[in-house]
């Protein structure tokens, strides 16, 4: 995929480096749960609450931090958020008790939603309008690579040198990323130009709420299935635990490639990309309901599913920003909270279905049904002429 020099600029790469660190610290705890549980003499399920605590911190912290940083210049806001990230990871590395580690995880999570929300707006303002979705996608590539590279290496480091070593390493990554943002992200990108009351008024519009709802449903569709992907692949597809690791690596590669492709396609036609990706996602999840019954077909389906899921991330983020032209920073940040709300809701929905007696092999059908709902809502936006394409040319772009 060929990108222009301006797209591959130092400021956007600095944002991508920060997103790599943030993504790694979010997900690496999953691979370190046994070590953390042993260290604090707690059960693995209780250690698993560190995952839930982080997600809750993102969902709750996103609007709070967005409001707190609304008036700050965007570069200053990003550096403040990186400061919170560094403090949180330092707290994780030094945590003397399980409770202290939980608090540090929540503190770290407070930087997550606002950083990706503000970072997406900054990235889109650093490139020509024809490359906005690609710029957002490039920033989010750091998040996808965190799953492909950061989490496996971080887990391996924690298993060899102790789980605290992983957080020290992430802290080092954060320092490098913060220095890159300080050096390369330009000044002059202002915060909110209107009052907070005006920003919140813009969020009452259905044209802004709709893409947030669609973002939530996209995440619900993913996590309804992906939360339980390991037992699904073992019990339904017949993979060994070692083979599951390799299959998830392919899924992560699909995320990365789909993210970049989605950004490129969205810059050509945003809504067509969203509609087409959802339609293809429905088809692949239905297909997965059948291919999951055998090892090789299941493995081959995973990267396609991952690609389609993350082909939606940057288009949905840009849709929200375009719809909320008078409050892009707040809307973009809240959309990150919407994604995380979908994460938790999808996990609960899938778990509820299993509790009611549905098998793991039925979860792709449930995920496909949620994707159909998201597709239907997206199509109403096209009919209602409230999609981003309806925004008049020359509408001011706020940083």
DSSP string, 129-174: GGGHHHHHHHHHHHHHHIIIIIHHHHHHHHHHH-HHHHHHHHHHHH
Asked if 93 and 45 count as a contact pair (C-beta separation under 8 A), the reply is no
pLDDT > 90 in the chain, percent: 36
- pLDDT (tens digit, 9 = 90+) per residue, 106-155? 999 988 888 988 888 888 888 887 888 888 888 888 888 887 888 788 88
What pLDDT sits at residue 238? 92
Mean of per-residue pLDDT scores for the chain: 84
DSSP reduced 3-state for 74: helix
What pLDDT sits at residue 382? 53
What pLDDT sits at residue 369? 96
Domains of the chain in start order, with CATH, are 1-191 (1.20.1250.20), 193-390 (1.20.1250.20)
CB-based contacts of 243, cutoff 8 Å, min separation 6 = 233, 295, 299
Asked if 37 and 47 count as a contact pair (C-beta separation under 8 A), the reply is yes
Asked if 12 and 136 count as a contact pair (C-beta separation under 8 A), the reply is no
Mean pLDDT of 386-397: 39
What pLDDT sits at residue 35? 85
Joined together, the tokens standing for residue 16 give 């991508």
Query: Does 2 have pLDDT greater than 50?
Result: no
Query: Does 397 have pLDDT greater than 70?
Result: no
Asked if 140 and 15 count as a contact pair (C-beta separation under 8 A), the reply is no
DSSP per residue over 4-70, as a string?
A: -TTTT-HHHHHHHHHHHHHHHHHHGGGGGHHHHHHHHT--HHHHHHHHHHHHHHHHHHHHHHHHHTT
The radius of gyration of the chain's CA atoms, rounded to the nearest angstrom, is 20
Asked if 58 and 336 count as a contact pair (C-beta separation under 8 A), the reply is yes
Instruction: Give the best-scoring range by mean pLDDT among 3-17, 19-33, 186-200, 249-263.
Output: 249-263
Q: Any idea what the Cα angle at residue 52 is, between residues 18 and 217, rounded to 5°?
A: 80
Alpha carbon distances (Å) from 41 to 54, 97, 155, 227, 267: 20, 10, 19, 25, 51
pLDDT > 70 in the chain, percent: 89
Which residue, 324, 281, 272, is CA-closest to 121? 324
Q: At what angle do helices 206-226 and 328-355 cross, to 10 degrees?
A: 40
CB-based contacts of 27, cutoff 8 Å, min separation 6 = 146, 147, 150, 151
Q: How far apart are CA 89 and CA 109, in angstroms?
A: 10
Q: How far apart are CA 122 and CA 396, in angstroms?
A: 14
- pLDDT (tens digit, 9 = 90+) per residue, 208-242? 889 989 999 999 999 888 878 878 888 899 988 77
């Amino acid at each position: 995929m060929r990108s222009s020099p301006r797209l591959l600029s130092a400021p956007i790469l600095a944002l991508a480096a920060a997103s790599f660190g943030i993504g790694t610290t979010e997900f690496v705890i999953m691979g370190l749960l046994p070590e953390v549980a042993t260290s604090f003499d707690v059960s693995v399920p209780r250690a698993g609450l560190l995952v839930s605590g982080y997600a809750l911190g993102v969902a709750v912290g996103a609007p709070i931090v967005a409001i707190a940083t609304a008036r700050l210049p965007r570069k200053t806001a990003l550096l403040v958020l990186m400061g919170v990230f560094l403090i949180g990871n330092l707290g994780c590395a030094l945590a003397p008790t399980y409770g202290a580690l939980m608090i540090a995880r929540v503190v770290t999570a407070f930087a997550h939603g606002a950083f990706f929300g503000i970072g997406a707006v900054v990235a889109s303002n650093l490139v020509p309008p024809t490359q906005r979705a690609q710029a957002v996608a490039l920033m989010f590539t750091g998040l996808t690579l965190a799953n492909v590279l950061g989490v496996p290496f971080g887990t391996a480091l924690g298993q060899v040198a102790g789980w605290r070593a992983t957080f020290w390493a992430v802290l080092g990554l954060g320092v490098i990323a913060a220095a890159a943002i300080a050096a390369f992200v330009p000044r002059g990108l202002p915060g909110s130009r209107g009052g907070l009351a005006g920003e919140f008024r813009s969020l009452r519009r259905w044209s802004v709420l709709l893409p947030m709802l669609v973002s939530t449903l996209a995440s619900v569709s993913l996590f309804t299935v992906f939360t339980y992907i390991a037992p699904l692949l073992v019990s339904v597809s017949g993979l060994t635990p070692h083979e599951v690791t390799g299959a998830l690596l392919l899924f992560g590669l699909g995320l990365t490639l789909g993210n970049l492709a989605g950004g490129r396609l969205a810059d050509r036609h945003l809504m067509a990309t969203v509609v087409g990706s959802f339609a293809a996602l429905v088809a692949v999840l239905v297909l997965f309901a059948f291919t999951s019954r055998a090892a090789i077909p299941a493995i081959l389906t995973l990267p396609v599913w991952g690609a389609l899921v993350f082909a939606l991330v940057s288009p949905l983020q840009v849709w929200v920003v375009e719809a909320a032209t008078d409050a892009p920073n707040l809307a973009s940040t809240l959309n990150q909270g919407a994604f995380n709300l979908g994460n938790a809701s999808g996990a609960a929905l899938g778990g509820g279905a299993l509790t009611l007696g549905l098998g793991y092999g039925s979860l792709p059908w449930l995920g496909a049904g949620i994707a159909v709902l998201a597709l239907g809502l997206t199509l109403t936006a096209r009919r209602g002429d409230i999609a981003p394409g309806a925004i008049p040319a020359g509408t001011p772009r706020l940083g």
